[in-house]
Amino acid sequence: MSTALSVNLNKIALLRNSREGNYPDVMHFARLCIELGVQGLTVHPRPDQRHIRPTDAYAMSALLQEHPALEFNIEGNPFAPAGGQYPGFMTLVKDLIPQQCTLVPDSNEQLTSDHGFDLTQSGDRLKPVIEELQGLGIRVCLFMDPDLRQINLAHELGADRIELYTGPYAAACLQDPKRAETLLTCYQAAARHARKLGLGVNAGHDLNLDNLPALLACAPIEEVSIGHALTVDALLMGFEDAVRAYLACCQ
């Protein structure tokens, strides 16, 4: 099966935010991604606005209205409150109505997302959120570890998809190839189990051109969202060639 590529533009925004002004222009790279044939765009607007800002999300939503076949995926913590110029995660999502909302258990203290939901602890709070988003026609994806018990709970909560957190696999590819092979078996089992339950399966975090092929070869993945590694590869090969390389890998 082919896998959809959703390009995460957070790191382009992070570079822009290191200076005054709008250089690089995130929207320029959003348009370039669309021209190159990606299947979607992803943003993860955090309350501290370290990279993507709400204004970026509104601009990207308007752009994608012109491309209804492409997916807009907004990631974040559904319980992130309003503060300053940040309207609150749920307010932003309800204003923009993306095709997909990926709920992530992150906090401002985390450098990046580093674990999936423990639904034994957060399931009761998440259930009405999932129902509200689905009532707006938004597909709901939960950021999850490859834990079959947790995936069962995601299904019971009524999620549409899960996104498998692939950070441990990516780290093992660099540090312990044998462990990486073991983890691939875990991700394969998790993806197959989720699909048997009727859940769609996405994957993301630290995936790159070196570790992505093996994951896609062994596990039925519908979509990957990639930003950090793609941005790094763009420094080496140019943005357009980097996007093309990831598209080829997904196909």
Number of separate domains in the chain? 1
What pLDDT sits at residue 161?
98
Mean pLDDT of the 133-155 span: 98
- Kindly report the CA angle at 72 between 70 and 76, in degrees rounded to 5? 160
Mean pLDDT of 106-131: 86
Catalytic residues: 44, 75, 205
Neighbours of 236 (CB within 10 A): 8
* Owning domain of residue 217: 4-250
**Per-residue pLDDT band at 137 (split at 50, 70, 90):** very high
- The pLDDT, as a whole number, for residue 115 is 82
Predicted pLDDT at 1: 72
3-state helix, strand, coil in the chain (%, to 5): 50, 15, 35
Q: What is the pLDDT of residues 55-111, one digit of tens each?
A: 999 999 999 999 999 999 999 999 999 999 999 999 999 999 999 999 999 867 665
CATH code, domain carrying 104: 3.20.20.70
Kindly report, residue by residue over 192-230, the tens digit of the pLDDT: 999 999 999 999 999 999 999 999 999 999 999 999 999
**From residue 15, how far is each of 12, 19, 20, 73, 206 by CA, in Å?**
5, 8, 11, 21, 18
Query: Which H or E element spans position 89?
Result: helix 89-96
The per-residue pLDDT for 110 is 60
* Distance separating alpha carbons of residues 3 and 250, to the nearest angstrom: 5
pTM: 0.96
